[in-house]
Amino acid sequence: MTIQVLLADDSDLMLLGARAVLEADHRFTVAGTARALNDLLAMRVSARPDTIVVGDWLAGVDALTIATRVRRQSWMPRLILIGTVMDGLLIRDLFKAGVDGYLYRADDLAEHLTLAIDTTLRNRPYLSPTANAEYLVAMQSPARDWQLDDECRDILRLLADGQHIGAIAYEKKLPLRRVYWVREKLRQRFGAQTNEHLIHRASAEGFLNGRLSI
C-alpha cells in the first residue's frame, strides 16, 4: 500500500516540485492538490491522506492558522509545512499547534521531503537543516518561553489596522495594562522598537496578510 500525500500551496511551482519528488518514489501517491485552505480542509476529509504537505501561506491565511484549522478535524494525518520564514520561535509555535515537520523552502526539497514524511510517520518530528539551526538558536533566547497565542495575534492585527491601545482594550474587553503588556511582548518577539517596525516584521513573517503600515 502506498503512502497517500495531499499537497497544498498557492504556488504552482511548489505543487509541481513536490509532486515530481513524490512521484519519483513508488512508495508515494499524490492524493490531490489544493490552493486554498477551505479546499484543503474538504480534501482532507474526502481523501483521508496519510500526510499533508502544505506551504506556509494559503490565499492570505498564515501558517499558524493553517495548522490550527487542520488539527481541528477528526482525521489526523501527519502535517508538514514548507515555509519561507526562518524564525525559530515561529517554528516552535507551529509544532505546539500540531505541525509534525517543517522544511525551509530553500533547503533541498528532493533530499528532505520524503525523509520528512518517513520520519513523521514514525511519530518523530522533522526539521530541515536550516530550520533546525534557527530553532536551536531560538531555544537559547530569552523569548523562548513566550508564545504568540490567539490574544496576541488579535492585538497585533488591531495594531496593524491603526487602532490605539485604548480602543483595543475597549474592543477586546481587556484591562489597558494588559494590552500595553502584550504590545511590549510583541515588540520583543519580533525584535521591534516601534509599532511601525513591529508591523513590518510581523508582516514579513506572514501574520498580517501584507499590511505594512499603521
Average per-residue pLDDT for the chain: 87
What letter would DSSP give residue 181? H
Domains 3-138 and 150-204 in one fold: no
Question: Is CATH 3.40.50.2300 what the domain over 3-138 is classified as, yes or no?
Answer: yes
Class of domain 150-204: mainly alpha
Written as nine digits, the cell of 208 is 498580517
Domain ranges within the chain, ordered by starting residue: 3-138, 150-204
Amino acid at 22: L
For the whole model, what pTM was predicted? 0.75
According to the model, what pLDDT value does residue 211 have? 42
Distance in angstroms between the alpha carbons of the first and the last residue of the chain: 53
Runs of H (alpha helix) within the chain: 12-23, 37-47, 63-71, 88-96, 109-121, 129-138, 150-160, 165-172, 176-190, 195-204
Q: Which residues pair with 4 in a beta bridge?
A: 29
According to the model, what pLDDT value does residue 119 have? 97
C-alpha 121/C-alpha 211 separation (Å) is 37
pLDDT digits (tens, 9 = 90+) for 7-31: 999 888 899 999 999 999 999 999 9
pLDDT digits (tens, 9 = 90+) for 149-182: 788 888 998 998 889 999 999 999 999 899 998 8
Phi, psi of 166 (to 5 degrees): -60, -40
Q: Does 212 have pLDDT greater than 50?
A: no
C-alpha 88/C-alpha 81 separation (Å) is 14
What letter would DSSP give residue 126? E
